[in-house]
Amino acid sequence: MAAWQVFAYIAASILFITGLKMLGRPETAKRGNRVSAVGMFIAVVATLVAGGLDFTWILVGMIVGAAVGAIAARRVKMTEMPEMVALLNGSGGLASMLVGWAEYVRAGEALVAFPTVAITLTVLVGGIAASGSVIAFGKLSERIEGKPILFRGQKTLNAALLALALLAAVVVVLNVVLAGGVAGVGVAFAMLLLLALTLGVLAVIPIGGADMPIVVSLLNSYSGVAAAMAGFVIDNNVLVVAGSLVGASGLILTNIMCKAMNRSLANVLFGGFGATVSTAGAAAQGEVKPLTPEDAYFILEAASSVVFVPGYGMAVAQAQHVVKELADQLVKNGADVRHAIHPVAGSMPGHMNVLLAEANVPYEQLVEPEDVNPAMETVDVAIVIGANDVVNPAAKEDETSPLWGMPIIEVDRARTCFVLKRSMNPGFSGVDNALFFKDNTRMIFGDAKATLTGMVAAFKES
């Protein structure tokens, strides 16, 4: 590698580090994204002009990829962002897997031990990230059943397949070390590819909708690790640095999500949360008190403090704009309005923030659960829009509940709580919600967007 190319890769690495750091702070996030994009540009140009490459197919791949990526990024709706991120993540994992495969084919008899180990790891992690992301995409876009898919002996099967994949990797590596090449182990390598892709599928299907934010950030981490492994394969520092950074940041985000649910990562990955729990926990019972949007208006009209609690249902109903409209009416009416956002509300980390930002909700109105919980008694109306598990009082009241111990937004302590919901069905977790039967809870059934539009209209008429 020429000296200038080394310097270019160092510059790119520094830009990635700086960009990522800036991306973690609100004031600098936008510039941070651009700084990291410049790093990427430098790395790509340095690779292209290093020489010795035939550009024909490189350009074909780049043009196709750029067109698909740009069109998709422009067209995707904010409510579909979780699916988009999952797909982008899958394409990164796929690319790393293919880089490992291509290098295995290209180096052939010239392979030595260490890069071969790296190749097998790249294929394994990249394959899991690729197919896992596709399944996550399917679940998020509701093309596949969102509930956990469980069967007898699932964990045993997964462990056996992982062991088999590692065995295939060992065969490939041993063959290179002992027999000095790739001849004769094509089957083992093909098995490694297939097993990696199968493992990705099997790893994601037992995970329920409520845990999707954790899965999405974990897969993000995997695709970073796969890129770092690809760096070992082609002996390139910039891949190792950039990939490791992504792997680490994905892990941190995963950890934040796990803490927000009071669960360990192992519990999320192997728990099959939501499929087995319909019998666990005390069944919530009592009288449901429905309310019409018109009656809700009279309560809201008299309220001086209102907290919105958005969840996945707000995304489904695409109700973020009308939430903002109602919030504006309430502010005009003299009420103090806040939006309490639970870290795992929605189907990816930060999902609700993205939607409310799209609707131009002022940043000052967004609060975290710990900001709003201590003074919940002073809140006149809490409006729960398509959120369920993150407001379920069972988390503090019922030790037998699977939600026990999860930090929630304690809307049950507000003076009045409106729950906007299409039906009495439980949330992602499949756990009944005692909130619906509390004395101060009023259920407003129907499409959240239509309900909120009705309330806004009532304000405008008055």
Partner 1 sequence: MNPLLLFVFVLAIYLGLELITKVPSQLHTPLMSGSNAISGITIVGAIIAAGEPGVLATVLGTIAVAAATINVIGGYLVTERMLAMFRAGKDR
Q: Which 31-60 residues touch partner 1, going by CB under 8 A? A: 32-34, 36-37, 39-40, 43-44, 47-48, 52-55, 57-58, 60
Three-class secondary structure of residue 338 per DSSP: strand
Contact between residue 435 and residue 276 where contact means Cβ atoms under 8 Å apart:
no
How many residues are there in the chain? 462
Contact status: 112 vs partner 1 (CB under 8 A): yes
From 250, 271, 311, 313, residue interacting with partner 1 (rule: CB under 8 A): 250
* CB closer to partner 1, 263 vs 351: 351
Which position among 6, 14, 62, 283 is part of the footprint of partner 1 (CB under 8 A)? 62
Between 346 and 402, CB nearer to partner 1: 346
In 280-348, the DSSP E strands lie at 305-310, 336-340
Q: Is 343 in the site for partner 1 (CB under 8 A)?
A: yes
Question: Which residue in 142, 235, 370, 371 binds partner 1 (CB under 8 A)?
Answer: 235
Q: How is residue 208 written in tokens?
A: 């329920």
Q: Minimum Å distance from CB 407 to partner 1?
A: 13
**C-alpha distances in angstroms, 230 versus 95, 96, 115, 168?**
10, 6, 9, 19
- Contact pick of 256, 291, 299, 331 for partner 1 (by CB under 8 A): 256
418 binds partner 1 (CB under 8 A): no
Q: Could you tell me which stretch among 91-99, 273-281, 387-395, 421-429 binds partner 1 (CB under 8 A)?
A: 91-99
Q: How far is the CB of 293 from partner 1 (least distance, A)?
A: 28
The DSSP call for residue 233 is H
CB of 222 to partner 1, least distance (A): 9
**Pattern 371-390, partner 1, x by CB under 8 A:** --------------------
How far is it, in rounded angstroms, from Cα 85 to Cα 79?
Answer: 12
- Give the residue, chosen from 10, 162, 174, 234, that forms a contact with partner 1 under the rule CB under 8 A: 234
How distant, in Å, are the alpha carbons of 46, 61, 128, 187, 211 from that of 103? 20, 17, 19, 17, 36
192 interacts with partner 1 by CB under 8 A: no
Q: Is 186 in the site for partner 1 (CB under 8 A)?
A: no
What is the CB neighbour count within 10 angstroms for residue 90?
22
SS3 (DSSP) at 421: strand
Sole binder of partner 1 in the list 2, 6, 14, 102 (CB under 8 A): 102
Q: Is 13 exposed, middle or buried (0-12, 13-18, 19+ CB in 10 A)?
A: buried
**How far is it, in rounded angstroms, from Cα 233 to Cα 124?**
13
Stretch that binds partner 1, among 219-227, 330-338, 383-391, 416-424 (CB under 8 A): 219-227
Q: Of residues 138, 209, 247, 293, which one binds partner 1 by CB under 8 A? A: 247
Q: What residues are labeled active site? A: 389
> CA 150, CA 161: separation in Å to the nearest integer?
16
Q: Which amino acid is at 245?
A: L
* Nearer to partner 1 among residue 30 and residue 155 (C-beta): 30
Distance CA(85)–CA(220), nearest Å, equals 9
C-alpha closest to that of 166 among 156, 178, 158: 158
Q: Phi and psi of 441, rounded to 5°?
A: -95, 135
Residues numbered 285 to 304 that lie near partner 1 (CB under 8 A) are none
Please identify which residue in 246, 261, 330, 335 interacts with partner 1, judged by CB under 8 A: 246
The verdict on 169 binding partner 1 (CB under 8 A) reads no
Site for partner 1 in 322-341 (CB under 8 A): 341
Q: Distance between CA 360 and CA 320 in Å, rounded?
A: 9
- Tokens read off for 459: 């304000």
Q: What is the C-alpha separation between 429 and 411, in angstroms, rounded? A: 19
Toward partner 1, which CB reaches closer, 61 or 180? 61
Q: Which stretch in 220-228, 282-290, 389-397, 452-460 sits in contact with partner 1 by CB under 8 A?
A: 220-228
Give Cβ neighbours of residue 416 (< 8 Å, ≥ 6 apart): 299, 303, 380, 381, 382, 440, 441, 442
Find tokens 């192997």 and name the residue: 270
- Is 231 an interacting residue with respect to partner 1 (CB under 8 A)? yes
Q: Which stretch binds partner 1 (CB under 8 A): 161-169, 170-178, 282-290, 359-367?
A: 359-367
Q: 29-48 and 237-260 are packed helices; what angle lies between their axes, rounded to 10 degrees?
A: 150
Span from 221-229, 271-279, 296-304, 448-456 in contact with partner 1 (CB under 8 A): 221-229
The number of residues that bind partner 1 (CB under 8 A) is 113
- Does 25 engage in binding with partner 1 (CB under 8 A)? yes
Residue with tokens 């270019």: 8
Per rule CB under 8 A, is residue 454 in the interface with partner 1?
no
90 or 293: CB nearest partner 1? 90
Question: In the set 83, 99, 148, 434, which binds partner 1 (CB under 8 A)?
Answer: 99
Interface with partner 1, residue 88, by CB under 8 A: yes
282 secondary structure, DSSP code: P
CA distance 223 to 221: 6
For the bound state, the minimum distance from the C-beta of residue 6 to partner 1, rounded and expressed in Å, comes to 12
